Amino acid sequence: MFSRVSHKVLMASFALAIAFSHSTAAQDADPSVTANLVLQVQELQDEVRMLRGRLEEANTEIENLKRRQRDQYLDLDQRISDLRNGQPVQPAGAVPSGAAIAAQPGTTQEGATQEPGVSPPEPSAAAGDVPDVRPPMETESAVAGIGQPQVESQAAPVSAEDEKAAYDRAFQALKELRYADAAEEFQSFLTQYPNSEFADNAQYWLGESYYVTRNYDIALTAFQGLLDRFPDSAKAPDALLKVGYTHYELEQWDSARAALTQVQELYPDSTLSRLAENRLRSMRMEGHY
């Protein structure tokens, strides 16, 4: 569609140039010819405006599609986790009651990385950057780290309802693209509930909230923290892949290659392995090794 619209705009602009040149040459010619040329120019201008409007509409629709795809991915992650934990799965598109909107821990490797539809932009397996929430922004945001979670036991008894509600709030902020709020909520959750059953998921999504906003140094710390604290987590394979991606964004080529190669060795014949190979291929084509 873009090519068709762009082609029409180009042709209309070319016709405008020709019409103007003819109108200049026809100033001393028949007035009826000049009037006809003026009308043609006006029609061409109207068509150019119409085509530009369609192009803007197409851009808006693409952004909406990207957002819908991200929501579908997060919903899929939640439902796969619910299935693994034996919880009832809400149908896609249903409005959950209370705060039970967030994904549960323990997503499978394949489920956590295969987004429906397109990627992400880096969002689908074809694009090569699953499991991204969405592609990194063009400019770095002002999301600042607020320190690593303290891993001491809580003095007061922990309420399971409060714990789940805190995780849900953080995950909902992520779904609503409030990345700064999500990072703060996940960090607060890990500080307050370091031994929670949701802690590994919270650590992973904390890294995602920083990765999306191009805070790569903090994101790398978060992803590596998951590997160090939760090596047996179902999110560990995804975190290792994102460690490789993050080193790539930081132009730390040797570290990126090492992490991505490790993904291939540990998880052969998997979606993660294919994604790692895609990024390694890009690095080879770019001459980074």
Biggest distance spanned by C-alpha atoms of the chain:
95
Q: Which pLDDT value is given to residue 256?
A: 97
Tokens 């770095």 -> residue: 140
Q: What is the pLDDT of residues 2-54, one digit of tens each?
A: 455 455 555 655 555 555 555 455 455 566 666 667 677 777 877 777 787 77
Q: How many Å apart are CA 289 and CA 274, to the nearest integer?
A: 19
Domain 109-285 is found in CATH 1.10.287.1080 = no
Residue 280, phi then psi, degrees to nearest 5: -65, -40
State which amino acid sits at residue 187: Q
Alpha helices in the chain (DSSP H): 2-25, 31-84, 109-113, 160-175, 179-192, 199-212, 216-229, 236-249, 253-266, 271-285
- Indicate yes or no: pTM above 0.75: no
Q: Which pLDDT value is given to residue 102?
A: 40
Q: Which pLDDT value is given to residue 127?
A: 38
Q: Which pLDDT value is given to residue 120?
A: 41
User: Residue ranges of the chain with pLDDT lower than 50?
Assistant: 2, 5, 23, 26, 93-132, 146, 149, 151-155
User: Rounded to the nearest 10 degrees, how much is the dihedral formed by the CA atoms of 232, 130, 112, 172?
Assistant: 110
